[in-house]
């Protein structure tokens, strides 16, 4: 037995408790109702589990905590079933506030018995707020219970403000008690008012953290920054605002914790994800017990909590946590976040770098900024033939074209035009004689784009058309003896001309590559393959940098280290949230908004 776990922590959980009801139904048994004609949902079995604050209590209990649950419930059949489930786990239910004037909240989930998947809408009966008599009872019980426990978890998970039991008066009482008992651990998880719990250890998720920033006026509605970056940029400010440490859970991206001026990121564990429901509850339960019983650092506690959340999502439903199972899991990797502008998407770090391959447009160059809407509008024009079509159909075409352009960013233009031809044929709005071949489509598109590029070159404002910090980054790598090269989906002669104008051509000792007249002769994948074979490169000696999923995917496939540039091309600097998400899905090892974090990037590549 782990000696650190021998003393059981006494934890009070206060908040709305739900009954989670799982109805397994057989779709083959559904029949039209005689009364309504609607198809029935024919259940074959039921399962129950404590939900919301009850699930946190369950996790604490299975991890050997001594748990008291303080929550309002109704005098109804759901309350009976809920109390039976809580008693199964040895949770003290003596302080459930029972009243005919309260409802017992319910989450009813319908599970297809044939597939094991939840495939029908959930039925919710939410809490309806506290009546005055029960509010008074909860305040009195808090005064009685807090002195007797080691930790207090406030689970305010009501999705509709004003309907949960953690209302203003209860919240004020909790804050008073925290000041009266500073030696005790107070933890808060609240969907709507987390920043009001001053002095509590706070545990928001990414969405809740973003809402805190909006309410505090730290970001506005037009913010284009990814949620993960908002955490890295503003977690210190939020911690100062609430006068306490903060831990942010970030789903597949692990968690962030801030205390005493240090921001750490903990990576998630790799493994099968069967059901994400309850991961946050598992995290907060394990975090609280680690801090209470082991008295270890916030970082080490968050690592154990990450393991608990990983164990939870590997099971159906909210799962069951056992400390023996948690102890068998590998220790999560963690690192100190030094520069908030750099996001590590994987645990991997660069090897001994010898070569760096750059994409060009959107990565180094902004001369072709705006190519996406030009291509989109031309594609829609060619697909519809400018005919009058229904607005819903036009909207569908626009969405499909936007998705196509986003996913093919980085491919040779001719391949995108082949895709356009397929779309024109598939939609069938234009006659066969109006359909052009891919080279003709390309000629029209590049004609429009080259006119814009020519005007920009004639402005003689080179710096305006460089992604922020890109030239300095190129020079810095060149000075360290790294062989650099460019591989673009744009036509080779254009890449050469534009790279010369922007002042990067002479640094590309490994060559400048672009689309050729025969697309079979060139691709970014072929360039990378030749590098690895002809120049006898090991995969970890190559870094691929780009703003499109194509170069990131082929770089990752080859084993290279990949850096995604999620740049806002209109400004030439800063984040583009859509690019960030695309490059993240493509598997980029690191994501940056531009090359302004020059020192941190160089240190990452050459530690």
- For the chain, the distance separating the N- and C-terminal CA atoms, rounded to the nearest angstrom, is 40
Length of the chain: 607
Phi, psi angle pair for 319, to nearest 5°: 70, 180
CA atoms of 310 and 314, how far apart (whole Å): 6
Q: H helices then E strands: how many in the chain?
A: 19, 21
Say what the pLDDT of residue 272 is. Answer: 86
Q: Which domains does the chain have, with CATH numbers?
A: 204-273+285-337 (3.40.1190.20), 355-365+466-605 (3.40.50.1000), 371-458 (no CATH)
How confident is the model over 435-455, as pLDDT tens digits?
999 999 999 998 988 899 999
* Among candidate residues 57, 108, 97, 50, the one with its CA nearest the CA of residue 73: 97
> What mean pLDDT value characterizes the chain?
93
More confident residue, 319 or 298: 298
Question: Tell me, what's the pLDDT at 2?
Answer: 41
Share of the chain above pLDDT 70, in %: 98
Tell me what pLDDT residue 168 has.
92
Average pLDDT over residues 75-94: 96
Q: How confident is the model over 194-200, as a mean pLDDT?
A: 94
pLDDT of residue 222: 64
- pLDDT over 80 at 137, yes or no: yes
Identify the three-state secondary structure at position 333: coil
**Does the pLDDT at position 296 exceed 80?**
yes
Runs of H (alpha helix) within 45-131: 53-62, 77-88
pLDDT of residue 83: 97
Buried b (16+ CB within 10 A) or exposed e, 548-571: bbbbbbbbbebbbbbbbbbbbbee
Cα distances from 61 to residues 8, 69, 191, 321, in angstroms, run 10, 11, 24, 9
Q: What's the CA gap between 297 and 274, in Å, rounded?
A: 30
Specify the pTM.
0.88
pLDDT in tens, 466-514: 999 999 999 999 999 999 999 998 999 999 999 999 999 999 999 999 9
Specify whether the CB–CB gap between 325 and 311 falls below 8 A: yes
The pLDDT of 158-185, averaged and rounded, is: 91
């Amino acid at each position: 037995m782990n000696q650190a776990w021998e003393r059981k922590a006494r934890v009070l959980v206060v908040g709305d408790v739900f009954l989670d009801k799982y109805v397994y139904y057989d779709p083959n048994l559904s029949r039209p109702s005689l009364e309504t004609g609607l198809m029935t949902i024919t259940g074959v079995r039921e399962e129950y589990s404590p939900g919301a604050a009850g699930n946190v209590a369950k996790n604490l209990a299975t991890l050997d905590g001594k748990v008291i649950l303080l929550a309002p419930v109704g005098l109804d059949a759901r309350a009976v079933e809920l109390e039976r489930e809580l008693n199964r786990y040895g949770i003290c239910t003596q302080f459930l506030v029972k009243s005919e004037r309260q409802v017992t909240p319910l989450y009813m989930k319908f599970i297809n018995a044939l597939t094991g998947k939840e495939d029908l809408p959930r039925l919710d009966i939410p809490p309806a707020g506290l009546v005055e008599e029960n509010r008074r009872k909860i305040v009195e019980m808090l005064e009685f219970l807090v002195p007797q426990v080691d930790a207090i978890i406030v689970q305010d998970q009501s999705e509709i403000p004003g309907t949960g039991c953690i209302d203003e008066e209860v919240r004020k009482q909790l804050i008073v008690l925290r000041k009266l008992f500073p030696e005790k651990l107070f933890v808060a998880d609240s969907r709507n008012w987390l920043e009001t719990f001053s002095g509590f250890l706070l545990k928001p998720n990414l969405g809740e953290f973003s809402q805190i920033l909006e309410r505090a006026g730290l970001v506005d509605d037009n913010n284009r920054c990814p949620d993960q970056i908002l955490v890295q940029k503003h977690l210190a400010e939020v911690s100062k605002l609430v006068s306490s440490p903060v831990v942010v859970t970030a789903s597949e991206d692990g968690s962030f914790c801030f205390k005493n001026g240090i921001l750490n990121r903990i990576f998630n564990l790799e493994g099968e994800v069967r059901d994400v429901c309850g991961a946050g509850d598992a995290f907060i339960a394990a975090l609280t017990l680690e801090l209470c019983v082991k008295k270890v650092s916030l970082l080490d506690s968050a690592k154990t909590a990450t393991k608990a959340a990983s164990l939870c999502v590997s099971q159906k439903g909210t799962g069951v946590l056992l400390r023996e199972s948690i102890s068998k899991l590998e220790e999560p990797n963690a690192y100190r976040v030094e520069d908030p502008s750099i996001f590590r998407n994987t645990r991997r770090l660069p090897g001994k770098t010898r070569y760096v391959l750059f994409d060009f447009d959107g990565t180094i160059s902004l001369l072709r900024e705006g190519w996406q809407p030009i291509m989109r509008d031309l594609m829609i024009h060619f697909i519809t033939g400018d005919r009058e079509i229904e607005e819903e159909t036009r909207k569908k075409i626009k969405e499909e074209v936007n998705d196509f352009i986003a996913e093919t960013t980085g491919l040779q233009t001719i391949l995108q035009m082949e895709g356009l031809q397929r779309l024109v044929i598939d939609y069938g709005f234009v006659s066969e004689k109006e359909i052009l071949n891919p080279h003709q489509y390309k000629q029209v598109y590049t004609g429009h784009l080259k006119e814009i590029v020519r005007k920009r070159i004639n402005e003689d404002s080179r710096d305006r058309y460089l992604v922020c910090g890109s030239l300095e980054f190129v020079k810095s790598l060149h000075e360290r003896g790294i062989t650099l090269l460019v591989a673009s989906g744009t036509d080779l002669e254009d890449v050469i001309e534009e790279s010369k104008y922007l002042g990067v051509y002479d640094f590309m000792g490994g060559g400048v590559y672009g689309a050729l007249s025969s697309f079979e002769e060139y691709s970014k994948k072929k360039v990378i393959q030749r590098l690895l074979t002809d120049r006898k490169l090991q995969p970890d000696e190559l870094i691929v940098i780009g703003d499109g999923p194509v170069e990131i995917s082929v770089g990752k496939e080859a084993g290279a280290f990949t850096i995604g540039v999620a740049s806002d091309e209109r400004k030439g600097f800063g984040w583009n949230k859509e690019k960030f998400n695309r490059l993240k899905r493509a598997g980029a090892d690191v994501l940056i908004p531009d090359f302004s974090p020059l020192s941190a990037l160089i240190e990452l590549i050459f530690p």
